[in-house]
Structure 1
């Protein structure tokens, strides 16, 4: 097969050996993934049908949804991503477990599998071997549209499991993280039961109040965070600006409209230019809530060895004429 030239579909180019195909274990994993992806939408549809004709939204539900969105979202961005995947800082065992648990409540998969998949993405960004590149089917109009859909959610259902032994051996050796990873199904139940229980208690024991909280602080919160995270995989490799140089074929971009909802993850171009950097939004006006949380942890003495942006490294990677 010819070497990848950056334009043809991945299947037409030389690629590293793919992981095992449709084994029984992989079929089970894809079925579980389907439940994780589909449950928020199925539950949302059912809830909307139950509440049809009612425009009442309980303020307590919106507050609870916001709180859980922030806690679980930061668990993903600070814990799963900047800490465990890239080593942007070193946290003690208690904080590591707390962040891994919070990230697991996001309904995005077990922590070890998440980290392994993301490390593989960085190893093969936007070229054969990348598990979720929007350029998988080429750069033509139809291929790009197909690729966007695939990189957003379709990749979750392919027989292309990432071997955790290869990409996350350090986490497999960590007993605490292994425990959190094994408890992922329990944590999925917790992330749904918690809003229902809180809503039920605040509503004076009314099951309608519990279901209302489950709708907003459970299903809608999970669905929103899912699609914000997946948009970084898809949109942040197609739309936006590229002020920093990345590796060949890597098309990661900065997409400012997603900055707050993604807690700074959509400053994706800098992240791919300097993956271990604990701050992704490095230019003026680039809000990065995840970096602010890491800074707070550092001042409290909860994390050490934080890899903050170095001016010389940024200057070396900045493209000529890029706007600050």
Structure 2
């Protein structure tokens, strides 16, 4: 259940609905949206609007979960990390979906899926419980499968997703010189299905792949690639080698310019 709902968030909500990184057949569109809804991170239209807001104002005023916008002072780094990880969720600040997700609001299928969000969430809790009860033939089996496949699974997947917001803008390395402070975290990437290659994502937000080098593990893109081979998704967007080289070269030039400026200031 953790793997399925993580696919729903990273591949479905994120790469498919938020960034239109590929097109999908109707059954795959429904499946990814339902799986994402089971993760208890909000209805799909709300999630997409919030994420697009993050990209529009990333690490600037207006970014709903940047770790860098807290007031300076004691423990400001920890307070920023807390806000980016979970504090922003508890504030219940809404994003204008009519502005940032109007394409989804014009999609009758997506509106229906969004309207039944609570039912998809309930299904995500009921399915492991029923399966556990059938397999074990006991009420205790049903309860423990509900517990681990429901609340514990939701807790795990939520914190993996939120770690990309907090750690992915605070800790890690930056392969590309982007306008915000996104980072890559190789150790977190497998557990987030590639979402932790966050600096790569901000450099190429419309890409279906976040692992942009051969050694960067990106299970989410491997799934998209497999679905493409089966004819279930199409128009998969990935940056060309030329685009990658150009962006890399521009980042190196920018870094060199920054180093020169720092040396001049030190002199």
| Same fold? TM cut 0.5 | yes
- 1:200-215 aligned within 5 A: 200-204=133-137, 206-215=138-147
- 1:260-299 aligned within 5 A: 260-299=190-229
The whole-number CA distance in structure 1 between the counterparts of 2:74 and 2:207 is: 34
RMSD: 1.5
- In the other structure, the counterpart of 2:186 is 256
The whole-number CA distance in structure 1 between the counterparts of 2:174 and 2:73 is: 21
SS in 2 for 1:261: helix
The whole-number CA distance in structure 2 between the counterparts of 1:304 and 1:185 is: 30
Larger deviation, residues 176-185 vs 265-274: 176-185
Pick the aligned partner of 1:177 from 93, 110, 131: 110
C-alpha spacing 1:245/1:96, structure 2 compared with 1 (3 Å): same
- Indicate the structure with greater helix content: 2
C-alpha distance after superposition, 1:54-94 (max 9, x if no partner): xxxxxxxxxxxxxx111111111111111110011111222
- In the other structure, the counterpart of 1:3 is none
- In the other structure, the counterpart of 1:224 is 156
The whole-number CA distance in structure 2 between the counterparts of 1:90 and 1:138 is: 41
Q: 1:256·1:267 contact (CA, 8 Å) conserved in 2? A: yes
Moved over 3 A (4+): 138-141
- 1:1-324 aligned within 5 A: 68-138=1-71, 142-204=75-137, 206-247=138-179, 250-318=180-248, 319-320=251-252
The whole-number CA distance in structure 2 between the counterparts of 1:141 and 1:281 is: 36
User: What TM-score, normalized by structure 1, do the two folds share?
Assistant: 0.75
Consecutive unaligned residues in structure 1, runs of 5 or more: 1-67
Q: State the Cα distance separating 1:299 from its structure 2 match.
A: 0.9
C-alpha distance after superposition, 1:128-151 (max 9, x if no partner): 000100012156662221111011
- In the other structure, the counterpart of 1:24 is none
The whole-number CA distance in structure 2 between the counterparts of 1:284 and 1:297 is: 20
C-alpha distance after superposition, 1:103-161 (max 9, x if no partner): 11111110000000000000000010001000121566622211110111110122521
The whole-number CA distance in structure 1 between the counterparts of 2:168 and 2:209 is: 17
- In the other structure, the counterpart of 2:260 is none
Q: 1:133·1:151 contact (CA, 8 Å) conserved in 2? A: yes
SS in 2 for 1:301: coil
The whole-number CA distance in structure 2 between the counterparts of 1:295 and 1:140 is: 47
Q: 1:243·1:269 contact (CA, 8 Å) conserved in 2? A: yes
Q: 1:83·1:90 contact (CA, 8 Å) conserved in 2? A: yes
Paired positions, count: 252
Q: State the Cα distance separating 1:193 from its structure 2 match.
A: 1.0
User: What TM-score, normalized by structure 2, do the two folds share?
Assistant: 0.91
Q: 1:82·1:278 contact (CA, 8 Å) conserved in 2? A: yes
Q: State the Cα distance separating 1:303 from its structure 2 match.
A: 1.3
C-alpha distance after superposition, 1:265-295 (max 9, x if no partner): 0000010011001100112321000000110
C-alpha distance after superposition, 1:175-200 (max 9, x if no partner): 11111111111112111111111111
Q: 1:138·1:144 contact (CA, 8 Å) conserved in 2? A: no
